Amino acid sequence: MLLQSSAVVDRIFSGIQPTGTPHLGNYLGAIQNWVRLQEESSSVLYSIMDMHSLTMPKEPSVLRQNILDTTAAILACGIDPKKCFLFRQSLVPEHAELAWILGCITNVPRLLRLPQWKMKCASQNNEGTVGLLTYPVLQAADILLYKSTRVPVGEDQVLHLELAQDIAQHFNKKYGEFFPMPKAILSTTKKIKSLRDPAMKMSKSDSQKLATVNVADSPEEIVLKFRKAVTDFTSEVTYDPESRPGVSNLVSIHAAVTGLSIKEVLQQAAGLDTARYKMVVAESVIQKFAPIRNEIKKLQEDKYHLIKVLEDGAEKAKELAAPIYQEIRRLVGFQ
């Protein structure tokens, strides 16, 4: 049994929505960071956020498969269940129960001001659901349920972490000091942009299939997507995100997959025109993803292993969450 201590434990929590096989931006911006963090901290939880995924319409059969594919992909990328708790969010019911308690101390105008609500609601013809409005409260519950102290987040989630901090402060003020303040771990990787529209971030939901490179793409698909990547009319390879976003996105990708600095990448690209440079970047991505792609295929052949990994992780997460949640129940007057 995991014992609850009054001392603050350094604990990392992060989650990923089950959208199937992750794309290049997910890998470089989040999963690669996860692999590093599991080596650095003794208490790390990574969750497949299946409850969050319901905020956008999904067929049940698609969601089931996406959960397995996402699990296979992050295991193939190097996440080790012996070094972290890897689990499915909905298998730990305390997430939803705590979200209700926290929702009761969170005001609606604060949620309505969040830019993701405005953007996603607009994409649903301004008929956004209650779940879409309140999922940042569930995010806060995801983090606070384990008394997490550090949270790897992308730039677009910083406001949601700030909401979690505010909710924690509000709870502490009302019921006494209980939750530590979770701090952001920001990715050092430049945000990866769409290959077809470098003004937008790379996304699974992009309607342009050539815009997004997936971790499990074949070498031929990767070459095609980089060959068709939008750049500009200047053939030289330079890094200037403001005036040359397309080429700069390629440079960022090249640096991130090779571990080189922007300066080192530009030195390598000296004398290349953008057409040839696209193929250099494509080859770097192919080399990076080849072993991952092979491992994903192997893992996908044994879905019962994937299910067991998530169930075992959920049991460990429940054991950690139970004493914390029981104390929350006591504090609010449920027992």
- Give the span between the Cα atoms of 47 and 103, in whole angstroms: 21
Q: Residue for token digits 């939803």? A: 96
Q: Is 120 a catalytic residue?
A: yes
In this structure, what token pair is assigned to residue 185?
């771990």
Q: Is 204 a catalytic residue?
A: yes
Catalytic residue among 83, 191, 204, 303: 204
- Report phi then psi at 185, rounded to 5: -110, 105
Name the residue among 225, 224, 219 with its Cα closest to residue 249. 225
With beta carbons less than 8 A apart as the criterion, state whether 17 and 52 touch.
yes
In this structure, what token pair is assigned to residue 192?
């990866």
Q: Is 201 a catalytic residue?
A: yes
- Dihedral angle over CA of 232, 238, 239, 245, nearest 10: 0
- Give the span between the Cα atoms of 200 and 193, in whole angstroms: 6
In this structure, what token pair is assigned to residue 277?
């440079």
Give me the sign of the Cα torsion angle 89, 156, 288, 20. positive
Catalytic residue among 83, 120, 191, 316: 120
- Give the span between the Cα atoms of 67 and 75, in whole angstroms: 12
Catalytic residue among 201, 303, 316, 318: 201
Burial of 107 (0-12, 13-18, 19+ CB in 10 A): exposed
Tell me the three state secondary structure of residue 86: strand
In this structure, what token pair is assigned to residue 68?
């397995």
Q: Beta strands of 124-187 (E only): which ranges?
A: 150-153, 183-186
Active site residues: 120, 201, 204
